[in-house]
Amino acid sequence: MSTRDDMVLAAERLFARFGVDGVSLRQIGAAAGQRNVAAAQYHFGDKQTLLQAIYDFRLSAIDMRRRELLDAVRASGTAGDVRALVEVLVVPLAEQAAAPGSHYVRFLNRMCDHQGRALLPLSEVGPVNSALEVGHLILDALGGTAAGSPTDHGPRARQRGELAGRLIIAGLADLEHRLRPDPDATVDVTADAVSGPDAEPDLDPAEYADGVVDAVVAVLTAPVSARRRPR
């Protein structure tokens, strides 16, 4: 693995633990084992470029996996089934959360916090065409059940979609943490915790992901209640 990749992974880990504003480029260089304190700045220039490098490092493989699942769903004739489509969104990210050494989903969760709980501007960070496509298919599959007609996908649909997206990221960030908890360290940012006293090695990631899918489907398909106004 290259020096640049080492720093990308160190940045992913530290941003996941301490937030985007809680880590300096110098700390990232040190965590990657670089003696030159300006190494991260030399390779990336600024923090925004480093954030983009993390997306570039991860997104292609995740998007490719999601595309495989979407193709399988279409081949099976279930492209109109909300649960099948939600699984296409959840499974690749759950598999990433379960990958050895991954802090990527916790990084995504931190990025949502950094942006005021707004979902990531997916079209701007990397190859996520499959996720956007699945999102549109889910809206079409919902029809009038939860969020308006399939032609306008109005404000209620957008609200449900945003809630579902946040739930996916937060739920799978929790899975990643349960598999590899971060220590309560506040001093040594160079430490790489891949396990800890609160780790749950017997946790089944696939079963946990199923629970996230259940919750997301419930959010998307819950009946729309009539708004009650005081007399």
Q: What is the pLDDT of residue 169?
A: 94
* pLDDT at residue 56 tops 50: yes
Q: With helix as H, strand as E and coil as C, how does 124-164 read? A: HHCCCHHHHHHHHHHHHHHCCCCCCCCCCCCHHHHHHHHHH
Backbone angles phi, psi at 64, to 5 degrees: -65, -40
> How far apart, in whole angstroms, are the C-alpha atoms of residue 161 and residue 157?
6
pLDDT digits (tens, 9 = 90+) for 176-217: 999 988 764 443 444 444 444 466 778 999 999 999 999 999
* pLDDT at residue 123 tops 50: no
pLDDT digits (tens, 9 = 90+) for 57-78: 999 999 999 999 999 999 999 9
pLDDT level of residue 164 (50, 70, 90 thresholds): very high
| 18, 52, 104, 128, 218 from 175: Cα distances, Å | 18, 24, 12, 22, 19
DSSP class of residue 46 equals S
Residue length, the chain?
231
| Mean per-residue pLDDT over the chain, rounded | 83
> How far apart, in whole angstroms, are the C-alpha atoms of residue 182 and residue 149?
44
Residues 6+ away with beta carbon under 8 Å from 26: 37, 38, 40, 41
* pLDDT at residue 155 tops 60: yes
At 201, is the secondary structure helix, strand, or coil?
A: coil
> How far apart, in whole angstroms, are the C-alpha atoms of residue 17 and residue 152?
40
pLDDT level of residue 161 (50, 70, 90 thresholds): confident
AA identity, residue 44? F
Encoded tokens for 50: 């480093």
* pLDDT at residue 231 tops 70: no
Please report, rounded to a whole number, the percentage of residues in the chain having pLDDT higher than 70: 80
Q: What is the pLDDT of residue 119?
A: 60
pLDDT level of residue 129 (50, 70, 90 thresholds): confident
At 15, is the secondary structure helix, strand, or coil?
A: helix
Q: What is the pLDDT of residue 145?
A: 45
Q: What is the pLDDT of residue 192?
A: 46
Residues 6+ away with beta carbon under 8 Å from 70: 79, 88, 130, 133, 134
> How far apart, in whole angstroms, are the C-alpha atoms of residue 75 and residue 73?
5
The candidate with the shortest Cα–Cα distance to 26, out of 53, 52, 44, is 44
DSSP class of residue 227 equals P
